[in-house]
Amino acid sequence: MRTLLLSTVLCALSLSAARAENPAEEQKHIAAATAAAGEDFKNTNLWLCKPTKDQLTHLATLRKEMPAKKVFDNFFYFGTGSQNVWALKTNDGIILWDVHANADEAQRLIVDAFKTVGLDPNDIKYIIISHGHGDHYGGAQYFQEHYPKAKLIMSRADYYLADTAPARPNWGGPPKHDMVAEDGQKITVGDTTVQLFITPGHTPGTLSSLIPVKDHGVTRLMALWGGTTAPAQRDGILTQEESLKRFTKVAEDQKIEGWISNHGLWDDAVVKISKMDKAPNGPSPFLQDAATRKRYFDVQNHCLEAALYRLPGATQ
């Protein structure tokens, strides 16, 4: 797995001479992303592909605190519309993805909300931090203080990123170092195993996950993409493109049935939960057929290409 991860980065760097600033090419990829997005990925596309002021105003209406929601038999949402935190319940404990931005949010939006859906935060066995930005790790110190039995998992690169990040008023401090994630690592709790992959780009050590959930008793494999927004630097964008392609292939080879994210604007979690509320006995809107999953990939890939052609100056 380490060799495969290194090849992802090297391949991205080797392609860095293939792009230069080109507004026409940028617009071509934005148009392709918009066509791929349709209505179901409209918000994803608006945010990722150079949103206008009016589009940002529209997206801001989706940012709101939401009640906890059981989205599958054993999989729960604890979000703010913008920020997604996920919890997977097994027969021997809970795996949590991300912890919101600070101690107050961790307590209100996760710990207190656990009780509303019948979960106990004392049952948390692992906390997986998707990447080293404070809106995802800021509540970690709260959990490490109040629930010390829970093991925290983060990539080595993103522990360093969090340790060296400038302080921000709304972000809690970096987590204490605990478990270090490895590419392809499997985490088993009771009857359930999830798999982690290091997918650099958005940050140097972004973690993406394959998560088996239960849908009316049937196991469905979901892919959680751990970091979506394009980095500011050319090499970072290219690295993210290669990570997206690699993880998508791994996920499809393992027969995933849907994509989710750590931000509600990337996977339209808010819209999907609204659909669930209106039709609680209908098919899960979080499940996607192969054509829909391909469109989700295409939106992200075209938006990354647009970001490359937006960068000023010629490549080396």
pLDDT exceeds 80 at position 176: yes
Rounded average pLDDT over 37-64: 81
DSSP E strands, the chain: 69-72, 75-77, 86-90, 93-97, 124-128, 151-154, 179-180, 186-189, 192-198, 207-215, 218-225, 258-261
**Cβ–Cβ < 8 Å for 286, 261:** no
Tens-digit pLDDT profile for residues 278-303? 999 899 999 999 999 999 999 999 99
* 316 belongs to a structural domain: no
Higher pLDDT, 68 or 268: 68
How confident is the model at residue 14, as a pLDDT? Answer: 45
1 three-class SS: coil
How confident is the model at residue 46, as a pLDDT? Answer: 82
* 223 belongs to a structural domain: yes
CA 148 to chain CA centroid, nearest Å? 25
pLDDT exceeds 70 at position 7: no
114 three-class SS: helix
61 three-class SS: coil
Phi-psi region of 313 (alpha: psi -120 to 50; beta: other; left: phi over 0): left
Average pLDDT, the chain: 91
Using DSSP bridges, classify how beta strands 86-90 and 207-215 pair: parallel, antiparallel or unpaired.
unpaired
**Cβ–Cβ < 8 Å for 93, 125:** yes
Domain count, the chain: 1
**Cβ–Cβ < 8 Å for 75, 284:** no
* 212 belongs to a structural domain: yes
Which of the residue ranges 34-38, 49-53, 120-124, 304-308 would you say has the lowest mean pLDDT?
A: 49-53
CA dist 266 → 42, 100, 115, 269, 302 (Å): 10, 16, 27, 8, 14
How confident is the model at residue 266, as a pLDDT? Answer: 84
CA–CA gap between residue 88 and residue 189 (Å, rounded): 10
Question: pTM of this prediction?
Answer: 0.91
113 three-class SS: helix
pLDDT exceeds 60 at position 12: no
Residue 194's Cβ-count burial label (10 Å; 0-12, 13-18, 19+) is buried
* 315 belongs to a structural domain: no
- CATH of residue 196's domain is 3.60.15.10
* 124 belongs to a structural domain: yes
Residue-number span of the structural domain to which 163 is assigned: 2-310
